[in-house]
Chains A and B, each alone.
Chain A
Amino acid sequence: MKKPKLATVWCEACAGCHMSFLDLDEALVDILAQVELTVSPVTDYKDFAFPQIDVGIVEGAIGNEENQEVIEHLRRQCRFLIAWGDCAVFGGIHTLRNWLSKDEVLHYGYVETAGTVNGFVPSHEDIPRLLDKVLPVNAVVAVDGYVPGCPPAPEALAYCLKELLAGRLPALPADMMHFD
């Protein structure tokens, strides 16, 4: 049997979920024996055309045009999309900026922050523009499974992957749930 293909992407987030994934330690070896990890910040394999894959995993909220493009493309290319972490599931800490307008956010971040001297808001056609609001992934594309947590515990991620390998969509049991 061919190994199922897995891709993970990192949108607006701190990479903590991927750290937690690496924190699976030796369990990672077992998992990687059963799946083929394609595009991922972990593999640093940058083929953003994403060949057709089985499971797409997203860490992070959708906060700019690039995030949106990536997640929409990933959704098209994968059979099951799983959201990892509070940012992808609920929007997380980034949603704090939803109280401000885009201009206020940029001005605050690049000009007003303590320690900034002669700051200015960078602008270039290559820099992705912010969306009006930071959104959880399921507000942008359909999501098939969720593993909340900031970050999710390695055990919860392992549970999620094992469930997927067993052909089930993951639903965390109560004792594995945590939002912090």
Chain B
Amino acid sequence: MMGINNQPVKIKIDGQEILVDPGITILEAARQKDIQIPTLCHHPALSNRGGCRMCVVEVDGAPRLSASCVTPVRDGMEVVTVNERIIETRRTILEFLFAERNHNCMFCPQSGDCELQDLAYELQMDHLTVPQSFREFPVDFTSAYIGLDHNRCILCGRCVRACEEISGCYVLDFQNRGPDTLIGFDLNEMRAESACTSCGACLQVCPTGALYNRYRTHYAVKGHPKDWHTVQTVCPLCGFLCPTVSTVRDNNLIKIEGIVPAGDKRPGAGQLCYKGRFEVLKNSDRPLLHPLVRQADGSWAEENWENALDMTVAGLNAVRDAHGDNAIVGLISGLSSNEEFVCFRDLMVKGWETEQIETLENSGFQNIYRSGPDKAQIFKEVSWKKIDEADYILAVGVVSHDSQPAVGALIRKRIIHDKLRPAGIGPDDFLYPYGAHHIPVKEGDELFVVKAILNEAKKIMEKNASASGADKIFDQPEPATAQDIVKKLHFDANTRIALDGIIRDYVDSANPLIIIGESVTGQKDLSGLNALVDLALLKGLYDNERLRLVVLKPNGNSMGAYKLLNRFDREKQAQTIPKGGLVMLEENPAQNNPYLKIPGDLDFLAVISPYRPAGLADCARVLIPKPSWMEMDGTCTGLDGCEIAFRRKVIDAPAEIKSSWETLAGLAARANVNLDYDSWDALRLKAEREIQKEVCSEKA
């Protein structure tokens, strides 16, 4: 049927003669020529199923209509996409779908944003000619993010395919048969008990309201789609920089969706994770609208901007005058933009000679870049995009759900599509049940296992003379063998097999990749990190310049923070006893955040924040509002520190709030700091230059 010599085939659609590539479907051919054929189970990001028959067309006048989404073109084919019989067939199919379950648009949260409804309008289905079943189907609201109402399901199977093809989860599938068929999680579990990762790919592709977002779907909130507009931007939450489309109505964020053709090797097909799709929609904390100043009796009073900035600068000046240089710390959220990092740093360093600017999360991953002058020189990690190319993946201490939730999906897709057999070491077996090997050790014990793997792999490879980068390896103080580690950590038989398997697979692999998670980078003991660097070096550098490592970072712009704030003398820092500080927040830090190192006896603390910061407000003297990341333009740095993406403003900040630039520049002017840029745009260029100082070969 397919053109043997790849010659274009000539077909006729609705009398129009066209030349198309062989092997494509009638639907694809029609869409290339802007000929509309309605579809329901077909989705551009998914494989074709041909299940709903909405796209039926007449081929060569045959008595049976063909589903155009799965019928390949053939030379000389004559296709009719619209005639009375076809329309009547499509409308009847639609009536069956409506009659089978309970499709009541007037109380469906998806009404107005529903492909089934759109088709009913388009085909003018103004009543049903078949009796309705009025059968009750179950619902599943055990997830905080995803609502599943089987009453609205048309069994098109888009979610099933999305779960497999987009998120690599295989959690969703059809259960039961015939009219009893339901979409089910795992082996007919409720959503909460299933292995679902809440990536939300299923609800993005759902053509009805069967799977829907539980946030902001009430009609009173989301209104009618005619009042919506969309903003294309990137998600800054984890450093993957997934492209997103945010839907906004009256300056209210309604939903966030992934982009189908994403490009730039970033997650496409609509892929996002629970953070980017749902967490952002959670009702945010109480916004801070006016500067607040602490009164003598401990209460807060509203203050105007000028006075609040004056008081901040005066307060920090007083601390410096009383305690000398080095007494003021800066804390800034790891979700801030590159511009904010640079401006905040310049202000703090030039204004008060600050020696310490930290982020509010575990910055332990930075140790890997500081673990020795030699190593720092060669330490360049590969991009997470190499997950797509590796022939072996070893995930060490990865708790995928926490920092970069999409990592799990990327690896699982490799397992499904390329038969990759990755392995994991650490408390969380996020590859279960797909991974080849897992060594379940508690957090912090990964390093012992890694050292043993390193030694054993080294021995084998030296014997085979296959260790291409072995000459660069640093001496290991205590070489541990597999035997030692088995005894030390009391491995059972299966774990022992897994350990041997990992050593063997790693040695055999040609293009391995090691993914390091926070349970390793968070440790004080750096020997685990060193051993991982050495283990990666065994296999040589990627493209002769990059280590075969992907280091997961705790926050969206952690790498930007490292590159832009890491200008300080660590030794000197250790001696710093902070007496005052300036904090710049993005998200509201948890009250027990261990990285929010604020000593109780600070003389002065000012906080710039989009929200009333819960715990921090107790020790602050001045609170200054700022827009949240969604309310301003900014750039963010990717996970590998090479990619820079522009994050567009999605909604407007409340009118009374001044931008980060106005606040920081205002503080700078009062502190007599001369910033060498005069606008946010100039700042952006400076930040970009600083990020790119380390030459990035991958940067386009």
- Give chain A's interface residues, CB within 8 Å of chain B: 83, 86, 89-93, 95-96, 98-99, 133, 136, 138-139, 143, 146-148, 150, 171-175, 177-180
Q: Which of A99, A136, A150, A180 contacts B127 (CB 8 A)?
A: A136
Min C-beta distance of B110 to chain A, whole Å: 10
> Is A143 a contact partner of B127 (Cβ separation < 8 A)?
yes
Extra 14 A-B pairs, beta carbons < 8 Å, given A98-B134, A143-B127, A172-B124? A89-B126, A95-B134, A99-B134, A99-B136, A136-B132, A139-B131, A146-B126, A147-B126, A177-B120, A177-B121, A178-B105, A179-B105, A179-B117, A180-B105
Interface size class of B (residues with CB under 8 A): 20 to 34
> Is B127 a contact partner of A138 (Cβ separation < 8 A)?
yes
Q: Which residue of A lies closest to B112 (CB)?
A: A180
Q: Given the complex, which residues of A lie within 8 Å of B176, measured CB to CB?
A: none
Q: Given the complex, which residues of A lie within 8 Å of B134, measured CB to CB?
A: 91, 95, 98-99, 133
Q: Which of B106, B120, B121, B126 contacts A93 (CB 8 A)?
A: B106
Q: Given the complex, which residues of A lie within 8 Å of B123, measured CB to CB?
A: 174
Give the distance in Å from the alpha carbon of A83 to the alpha carbon of B105 in the complex: 17
Q: Given the complex, which residues of B lie within 8 Å of A96, measured CB to CB?
A: 102, 104
Q: Given the complex, which residues of B lie within 8 Å of A177, measured CB to CB?
A: 120-121, 124, 126
Min C-beta distance of A57 to chain B, whole Å: 15
- Give chain B's interface residues, CB within 8 Å of chain A: 98, 102, 104-108, 111-112, 117, 120-124, 126-129, 131-132, 134-136
Q: Given the complex, which residues of A lie within 8 Å of B136, measured CB to CB?
A: 99
Q: Which of B104, B121, B127, B128 contacts A178 (CB 8 A)?
A: B121
3 shortest interchain CB distances as A-B pairs: A179-B105, A150-B106, A98-B134
Give the distance in Å from the alpha carbon of A96 to the alpha carbon of B124 in the complex: 25
Min C-beta distance of A150 to chain B, whole Å: 4
Given A139-B131, A180-B112, are A86 and B106 also a contact pair (CB < 8 Å)? Answer: yes
Give the distance in Å from the alpha carbon of A80 to the alpha carbon of B128 in the complex: 18
Min C-beta distance of A167 to chain B, whole Å: 19
> Is A93 a contact partner of B104 (Cβ separation < 8 A)?
yes
Give the interface centre of B111, B126, B132, B135 by most chain A CB atoms within 10 Å. B126
Min C-beta distance of B666 to chain A, whole Å: 49
A-B contact count (CB 8 A): 70
Q: Which of B108, B117, B122, B127 contacts A83 (CB 8 A)?
A: B127
Give the distance in Å from the alpha carbon of A86 to the alpha carbon of B128 in the complex: 11
Give the distance in Å from the alpha carbon of A4 to the alpha carbon of B205 in the complex: 49
Q: Given the complex, which residues of B lie within 8 Å of A95, measured CB to CB?
A: 102, 104, 132, 134
Given A92-B106, A179-B111, A179-B117, are A171 and B127 also a contact pair (CB < 8 Å)? Answer: no
B interface, by DSSP: helix, strand, loop or mixed?
A: loop
Min C-beta distance of B203 to chain A, whole Å: 19
Give the distance in Å from the alpha carbon of A89 to the alpha carbon of B135 in the complex: 18
Min C-beta distance of A59 to chain B, whole Å: 14
Given A99-B134, A174-B121, are A93 and B107 also a contact pair (CB < 8 Å)? Answer: yes
**Can you pick out 7 interface pairs between chain A and chain B where the beta carbons lie within 8 Å of each other?**
A90-B127, A93-B107, A99-B134, A139-B131, A148-B126, A150-B105, A179-B117
Q: Given the complex, which residues of B lie within 8 Å of A150, measured CB to CB?
A: 105-106
Min C-beta distance of A143 to chain B, whole Å: 7
Give the distance in Å from the alpha carbon of A146 to the alpha carbon of B125 in the complex: 10
> Is A171 a contact partner of B126 (Cβ separation < 8 A)?
yes
Give the interface centre of B104, B122, B123, B136 by most chain A CB atoms within 10 Å. B104
Give the distance in Å from the alpha carbon of A55 to the alpha carbon of B134 in the complex: 30
Give the distance in Å from the alpha carbon of A118 to the alpha carbon of B105 in the complex: 35
Give the distance in Å from the alpha carbon of A66 to the alpha carbon of B105 in the complex: 27
Give the distance in Å from the alpha carbon of A121 to the alpha carbon of B112 in the complex: 38
Min C-beta distance of B94 to chain A, whole Å: 12
> Is B127 a contact partner of A148 (Cβ separation < 8 A)?
yes
Q: Given the complex, which residues of B lie within 8 Å of A138, measured CB to CB?
A: 127-129
> Is B124 a contact partner of A171 (Cβ separation < 8 A)?
yes
Q: Given the complex, which residues of B lie within 8 Å of A174, measured CB to CB?
A: 121-124
Q: Which residue of A lies closest to B102 (CB)?
A: A95
Q: Given the complex, which residues of B lie within 8 Å of A86, measured CB to CB?
A: 104-106
Q: Given the complex, which residues of A lie within 8 Å of B108, measured CB to CB?
A: 180
> Is B122 a contact partner of A90 (Cβ separation < 8 A)?
no
Q: Which residue of A lies closest to B98 (CB)?
A: A90
Give the distance in Å from the alpha carbon of A99 to the alpha carbon of B138 in the complex: 11
Give the distance in Å from the alpha carbon of A98 to the alpha carbon of B98 in the complex: 16
Q: Which residue of B lies closest to A170 (CB)?
A: B126
> Is A179 a contact partner of B120 (Cβ separation < 8 A)?
yes
Give the distance in Å from the alpha carbon of A133 to the alpha carbon of B129 in the complex: 18
Give the distance in Å from the alpha carbon of A146 to the alpha carbon of B122 in the complex: 16
Give the distance in Å from the alpha carbon of A86 to the alpha carbon of B117 in the complex: 13
Q: Which of B102, B111, B135 contacts A180 (CB 8 A)?
A: B111
Q: Which residue of A lies closest to B111 (CB)?
A: A180
> Is A92 a contact partner of B104 (Cβ separation < 8 A)?
yes
Q: Which residue of B lies closest to A98 (CB)?
A: B134
Give the distance in Å from the alpha carbon of A120 to the alpha carbon of B589 in the complex: 53
Give the distance in Å from the alpha carbon of A136 to the alpha carbon of B102 in the complex: 13
Q: Which residue of A lies closest to B224 (CB)?
A: A180
Min C-beta distance of B403 to chain A, whole Å: 41
Q: Given the complex, which residues of B lie within 8 Å of A99, measured CB to CB?
A: 134-136
Min C-beta distance of B9 to chain A, whole Å: 34
Q: Given the complex, which residues of B lie within 8 Å of A180, measured CB to CB?
A: 105-106, 108, 111-112
Give the distance in Å from the alpha carbon of A178 to the alpha carbon of B148 in the complex: 24
Give the distance in Å from the alpha carbon of A139 to the alpha carbon of B132 in the complex: 9
